[in-house]
Structure 1
Amino acid sequence: MSDLQVCDAARTAALLPFPALMQEIARAAEDMTAGLLSAPPRQAVPFPNGAVMLSMPATAADVGIHKLVNVAPGNRAHGLPTVNGMVSVYDGDTGRLRLLLDGPTVTTRRTAAVSMLAVSRLQPGGLRHVAVFGTGTQATGHVDAVLELYPDARVDVIGHAPGRAEAFARRFDAGRVRPADRVDPAAGLVITATTSAVPVYDQPARAGRLVIGVGAYREDLAEIGARTLADSHLYVDDPEGARHEAGDYL
């Protein structure tokens, strides 16, 4: 397979700039609604030590793709990535393997791009003040996206352990990313990027604030509390998948 391209994390990220990725995700959603894509609900298989293996195939007229990743929350205690795996891309005419992408990078950038696409539709006036719960990979991806797409936005980071938010914030522009212990009333966007089993955000719904839940991918997880959900307008990126994966709603 001399024409097979294997991309590490850096090369994968370079192939997926946020503005273009958001456009392609919007187009893929339209194609999915029109029946032009085949993407069955992802299969979740139990993995040792409380982890899960996730299989996500999809095909279009000109391409086939398969994301296979393992999500191992226990890895955080060992300083290892929570998500590991790869995305394989196949030629639509021959079925030949053409491209291998870094799975965690695709996951991180795709998820952040979906969130930013939601922001563009639901907060069309832009962002000035953002609060992010979490200090892991998904939090990093979302902060990267906010900083790139909204140059005037400030980000407050809230961690679950002492010193975690401070260490996280130091990796970014000190003037724009700061540690915090609560959500500032001025925040127009709240992003929960944890795998918490109990809500980390449960403030009453308020006009002008968008809350995006990222990490509750199982029915036994919930980052956003009932008080927030009760009076909010509710949206999901994939209604079919949400029926068994949107932990906050379930």
Structure 2
Amino acid sequence: MCSPSTPSTAIVVCDQAQTAALLDFKQLVEAIAQAASDLEAGTVLSPERMVVPLGEGGVLLSMPATAQDIGIHKLVNVQRGNTQRNLPTINGMVTVCDAPTGKIICLLDGPEVTGRRTAAVTLLAIRTCLGQAPKAILLFGTGAQARYHLQAVNALYPQAKIWVRGVSPQAAVEFCERNRHLHEHLEGIGNTVPEVDVVIAATTSNEPVYDEPGKVGRLVVGVGAFTPDMAEIGKATLDASDIYVDEPEGARHEAGDLLQAGVDWGRVKPLAYALKAGVDRSRPVVFKSVGTAAWDLAAARVALAGLAANTHDRVSQEPAPCK
């Protein structure tokens, strides 16, 4: 477990495993819900992320966010070609500082924060837009983000059945076998759409992987596409559905699904609106997530609370000094 064991002036550095241990999915969902309200109220500031080309086909993403209590800066590199190199697609870190003093408090593993908070945003969308525990989920993708979604669903909905579609039926079956320890109720599937109440697309596709007619009682969530040339959800689904996004300004520039479908932005509502006003569940619903540093700030709040609790537990267990 990651906890300060040196003077308070030291920076706590958390590796991937330590970062994961600090970021409980149930706590993340609540922290992100609060951050969504804070973002709308202007008490969390999260400017549009800076995207800089890196290498061949890669990008460097700079994502800061500040609030009255803390500030964070996430710096991550995304190399989609790393899949062929058997290397992680995302590398990076999140720097967390105390807002009043500017003092750096800790460093968190960037890919772990990204994976967990993205999956937690999906959980919040399910809770808000579906309004009940999902019984069956169709998951597109067999990469890192798909694995984080398995963990997230298992944390809140352990009885949900998850059907997995990959680039091939064999890829889906192999993914399920490798990751059954993360969620018991897994099954690979071919090019069909089973009866489900949630669809989650977590791919790096440049063309839609899901373009079914809108269906009442089925929530469609897109989390993989984050550039204008990427798309996971097709026009048929989008045209027939009410659309919510996690961060409207970012979505206008980065939600390739919506941009390629020529969606009327006047009918796109933010997550914060859904949290306050609810959604019309008599209509098909699509939730599109492009990510914002506000969610990383929410994750940092959860991590800091965990660090503080760990420190308190460690101190309380130390024997009293001899007199």
User: TM-score scaled to structure 2, two decimals?
Assistant: 0.75
User: Residues 138 and 194 of structure 2 are in contact (CA less than 8 Å); yes or no, is this contact kept in structure 1?
Assistant: no
Which of 42, 47, 51 is matched with 2:58 structurally?
51
Give the 5 Å matches for 1:25-44: 25-44=32-51
Task: Select 1:75's aligned residue among 82, 85, 90.
Answer: 82
Superimposed CA distance per residue, residues 41-64 of structure 1 (whole angstroms, 9 cap, x where no aligned partner): 111111111101111001111211
The superposition leaves residues 191-231 of structure 1 with CA deviations (integer Å, 9 ceiling, x where unpaired) of 01001001111111111110000111001111111111110
Whether the 8 Å contact between 1:38 and 1:60 is mirrored in structure 2 is: yes
Q: 1:96 offset after TM fit, Å? A: 1.6
- Distance in 2 (alpha carbons) for counterparts of 1:88 and 1:122: 32
Does residue 136 of structure 2 align to residue 129 of structure 1? yes
CA RMSD of aligned residues (A): 1.3
Give CA deviations for 1:18-74 in whole Å, capped at 9, x if unaligned: 111010111111111111111101111111111011110011112110000011000
Counterpart position of 2:218: 209
Q: Find the partner of 1:190 among 193, 199, 214.
A: 199
Shift in Å at residue 161 of structure 1?
Answer: 3.5
Structure 2 residue corresponding to 1:243, chosen from 252, 258, 273: 252
Partner of 2:91: 84
Mapped to 2, the partners of 1:185 and 1:51 lie a distance apart of 35
The CA deviation at 1:155 is 0.4
CA distance in 2, matches of 1:185, 1:133: 12
Equivalent residue for 1:172, pick from 163, 180, 195: 180
Moved >4 Å (runs of 4+)? none
Whole-Å separation in 2 of the counterparts to 1:6 and 1:150: 31
**Structure 1 residues 156 and 162: alpha-carbon distance in aligned structure 2, compared to 1, 3 A threshold:** closer
Contact persistence 2:141–2:166 (CA under 8 A)? yes
Structure (1 or 2) with the larger CA radius of gyration: 2
CA distance in 1, matches of 2:143, 2:248: 26
Q: Is 2:150 the partner of 1:140? A: no
Task: Confirm or deny: 8 A CA contact 2:169 2:188 kept in the other structure.
Answer: no
Specify the code of the residue in structure 2 equivalent to 1:206. K
Partner of 1:64, secondary structure, is strand
Displacement of 1:165 after TM fit? 1.2
Contact residue 203 and residue 227 of structure 1 kept, 8 A: yes
State how 1:16-27 maps to structure 2 within 5 Å. 16-27=23-34
Partner Cα separation in structure 2 for residue 249 and residue 146 of structure 1: 26
Can you give the 5+ residue segments of structure 1 that lack an aligned partner in the other structure? none
Contact 2:169–2:190 (8 Å) recurs in 1: no
Using CA pairs below 8 Å that are at least 6 residues apart, which structure has the higher relative contact order?
2
Higher helix share: 2
Residues 52-100 of structure 1 deviation map (CA, whole Å, 9 limit, x = unaligned):
1111001111211000001100000011111110000011122121100
CA contact 2:25–2:116 (8 Å) conserved in 1: yes
How many angstroms does 1:162 deviate by? Answer: 5.1
Q: After alignment, is 19-28 or 179-188 more displaced? A: 179-188
Q: Is the 8 A contact 1:131 1:183 kept in 2?
A: no
SS at match of 1:190: strand
Q: Is the counterpart of residue 218 in structure 1 residue 227 in structure 2?
A: yes
Q: 1:154 to 1:56 in 2, by over 3 A?
A: same
Query: 1:106: how far off?
Result: 0.4
CA shift for structure 1 position 168: 1.1
